[in-house]
Amino acid sequence: MKKKEGVSRLLEIAGEKKGLLWLSGIMSAISALFLLVPFGAVYNILKELLVHASNLSAIDSDYITLWGWYAFGGLIIGMLLMYAGLMMSHIAAFRILYGLKVKLSSHLGGLPLGFLNSTSTGAIKKLMEQNVEKIEHFIAHTIPDLVNVFATIIFMFTIFFSLNGWMALTALVCIIISLGMQFSNFVGKRAKALTKEYFDVQERMSSSAVQYVRGMPVIKVFGQSIQSFRQFNAEIEAYKTFAMKCCNSYQNGIIAFMVILNSIVTFVLPVGLLIMTSDPHNISLAVIYLFFIIMGPGVASPVYKLAFLSSATVEINEGVKRIDDVLNEKKLEETAQPIKPHTYDIEFRNVSFSYEDKHSNAETIALSNVSFVATQGKITALVGPSGAGKSTIANLIPRFWDVTSGEILIGGINIKNIATPDLLEMVSFVFQDTFLFNDTIYANIAAGNPNASRTDLEHAAQAAQCDEFIKNLPNGYDTVVGDKGTFLSGGEAQRICIARAILRNSPILVLDEATAFADPENEYKIRQALQKLIKGKTVIIIAHRLSSITSANQILVFEEGRLVQKGKHNDLLATEGTYQNMWNAYTNTVNWKLNLKTTK
């Protein structure tokens, strides 16, 4: 069965809100009928005036007044029905918008980190904001407008053909030719290709904008202008080039469309005159001719809307496709019968893993046939050059990715047989790059365990050596930190993250060199906090500063994704190999001094 696409797929996403959309469409169609009542009133008033043109006293003023009231009533009822239809479409749109954003957020949360790494932040931001918002606008406005426009054109031409077939046919041919001029611009293959390119350019520009803002400190430090941030500038230039390409591509069709559509009366005039010459004394025919001359240009307005609403349909098709591309990304498979381990030893058995680049279909080998055991209650340190696979190992434990081959076990149970929520509850991370939400300090620590009491939270803060500086802040634990709040030093922010991990109290702890960027005073306090955090846990330390892991129970040395050495510090130091070379380089770095010699 062919999968639905575009508007039909959008209506499928609408689900139970489809009833509201149908009701909105029906009301929009009926409103179009009532809004045409004034046109009928004009025709009947013109007829009355022309029939009695030679004797004005014979004009039935009550008849004209009645049709005036009909016109006023039709206008009011039509506007009320249009308002009711728009209200229903807006209710449906916002409910669909809410459901779609929740669905996308939930799905993104269940995807492996590999998807997020291969997709730019700007693209996801545009998807969640602009693409979804455009769907809301399409449902709330475009769908009822399309129904209203179609109904208006159908009702108008029903009236036109009932009055005179030849003049109505002339107007219809003009409309068909003008729409044909616009078909390739707004509906054809070229329109789809340009719309896809438009979305691609927008995503790249959005991604570059995010990167530019994040790189602003570097730009300012080195005194560079916006032009020096080449990627962002290049994307803006690409967008300008694309916009000019669209203008050049569309201009001929749009000019022809507008000229022909605005010339309906020009074509109707000679046809009407030709018909009139056959019966010049026919007052009814004269009224119809005059009606076409006055009301013919009125057809152009709904046709204009129809043409440009069609372009919105092409755009929404591309937006829905991109949303579906994300929803079609496979989540990590969940076991039907989850098992909870009772112990927390971590074992890697012949694990291999490769990063996949979906754009180029290339794979980068990160781990090759890695096997080791990290025992509960002991510290296992991972060391090696950059790109050796240390962070990959840490990220495989909570299933941020799934292994390519081999298996990872916790307490003797394959992590694929552990429910993801349970697995994530077992593992806490403390990274060297801290992240604080734009919220209160209390909320930031409570993220580790939202159900913890305030007393438990404050005990965690005390254990993390951050209770003292928190109480000295203007609002204590209720002080807002982050982009729009109080700024903390790197060491203070790090201790908040450690308090979060202490409050979580997970049996497995992964430390990504939590003291790498701390000053000596903060490093001492962070080490004190970590000592309380690691008791009785399975601890994995990703070490960059080798002096911090000399007392580890086990040191695993990685090189190019392979486990090349393992043992304790002294044993590894006594053996020629990668660790000894790294230690020698590290000690030489520690003893290095900046020596400035002045010359006369």
3-state secondary structure of 372: strand
Cβ contacts of residue 485 below 8 Å, gap of 6+?
Answer: 438, 479
Cβ contacts of residue 257 below 8 Å, gap of 6+?
Answer: 178, 179, 181, 182, 307
316 residue type, one letter: I
Buried b (16+ CB within 10 A) or exposed e, 317-356: bbbbbbbeebeebeeeeeeeeeeebeebbbbbbebebbee
Q: Is 31 in the same domain as 143?
A: yes
Q: Is 317 in the same domain as 463?
A: no
d(CA 52, CA 432): 92
Which of these, 185, 204, 181, lies nearest to 193 by C-alpha position?
Answer: 185
Residue 547 forms part of a structural domain: yes
State pTM to two decimals: 0.62
Q: Is 301 in the same domain as 427?
A: no
Residue 339 forms part of a structural domain: no
Q: In the predicted model, is pLDDT for residue 76 greater than 80?
A: yes
Q: Is 300 in the same domain as 418?
A: no
3-state secondary structure of 488: coil
Strand partners, 38: none
Q: Higher confidence at residue 151 or residue 183?
A: 151
Q: Is 397 in the same domain as 315?
A: no
State both tokens at 115.
């998807």
Q: What proportions of the chain, in percent to the nearest 5, are helix, strand and coil?
A: 65, 10, 25
Q: What is the band of 129 on the pLDDT scale with cuts at 50, 70, 90?
A: low
Q: Is 276 in the same domain as 411?
A: no
Which of these, 471, 470, 463, 517, lies nearest to 494 by C-alpha position?
Answer: 517
DSSP result, 32-78: HHHHTHHHHHHHHHHHHHHHTTT-GGGS-HHHHHHHHHHHHHHHHHH
Mean of all residue pLDDT scores within the chain: 79
Cα→Cα distances 343→23, 182, 351, 371, 391, Å: 58, 68, 21, 19, 23
For the chain, the residue count is 600
What pLDDT sits at residue 215? 64
330 residue type, one letter: K
Q: Is 314 in the same domain as 367?
A: no
Residue 2 forms part of a structural domain: no
Strand partners, 402: none
Q: Higher confidence at residue 177 or residue 126?
A: 177
Residues 227-281 have pLDDT tens digits of: 556 667 777 777 778 778 777 777 777 777 778 877 788 888 888 888 878 777 7
Q: In the predicted model, is pLDDT for residue 362 greater than 60?
A: yes
| Residue 117: CATH number of its domain | 1.20.1560.10
Q: Is 281 in the same domain as 377?
A: no
Q: Higher confidence at residue 482 or residue 66?
A: 66
Segments forming the whole domain that contains residue 132? 13-327
Which of these, 249, 418, 403, 416, lies nearest to 343 by C-alpha position?
Answer: 418
State both tokens at 161.
């053909």
Q: In the predicted model, is pLDDT for residue 520 greater than 70?
A: no
Domain count, the chain: 2
Residue where the block lists tokens 């290095």: 592
Residue 341 forms part of a structural domain: no
Which of these, 36, 301, 24, lies nearest to 138 by C-alpha position?
Answer: 24
State both tokens at 483.
């982009």
Residues 526-541 have pLDDT tens digits of: 677 667 667 788 989 8
The kind and range of the H/E element at 462 are: helix 454-463
Residues 282-317 have pLDDT tens digits of: 777 878 888 788 777 777 778 777 776 666 666 677
Q: Are 444 and 481 in contact (CB under 8 A)?
A: yes
State both tokens at 43.
């025709």
Residue 188 forms part of a structural domain: yes
Q: Is 299 in the same domain as 376?
A: no
What pLDDT sits at residue 286? 79
What pLDDT sits at residue 92? 81
Q: Is 317 in the same domain as 387?
A: no
Q: Is 296 in the same domain as 393?
A: no
What pLDDT sits at residue 407? 93
User: Given 279, 295, 327, which residue is the final one in a domain?
Assistant: 327
- How many Å is the Cα radius of gyration of the chain? 36
Residue 405 forms part of a structural domain: yes
197 residue type, one letter: E
Q: What is the band of 372 on the pLDDT scale with cuts at 50, 70, 90?
A: very high
What pLDDT sits at residue 374? 92
14-18, 331-335, 487-491, range with the lowest pLDDT: 14-18
Residue 336 forms part of a structural domain: no
Cβ contacts of residue 174 below 8 Å, gap of 6+?
Answer: 260, 261, 263, 264, 267
| Residue 530: CATH number of its domain | 3.40.50.300
Residue 167 forms part of a structural domain: yes
Q: Are 501 and 429 in contact (CB under 8 A)?
A: yes
Q: In the predicted model, is pLDDT for residue 189 greater than 80?
A: no
Strands (E), 358-506: 362-374, 379-383, 405-410, 413-414, 427-430, 439-440, 480-481
Which of these, 509, 567, 561, lies nearest to 405 by C-alpha position?
Answer: 561
Q: Is 395 in the same domain as 486?
A: yes
Cα dihedral across residues 53, 57, 59, 65: positive or negative = positive
Q: 412: phi > 0 → left, psi -120 to 50 → alpha, else beta; which?
A: left
d(CA 188, CA 466): 63
How far separated are the first and last CA of the chain, in Å rounded? 86
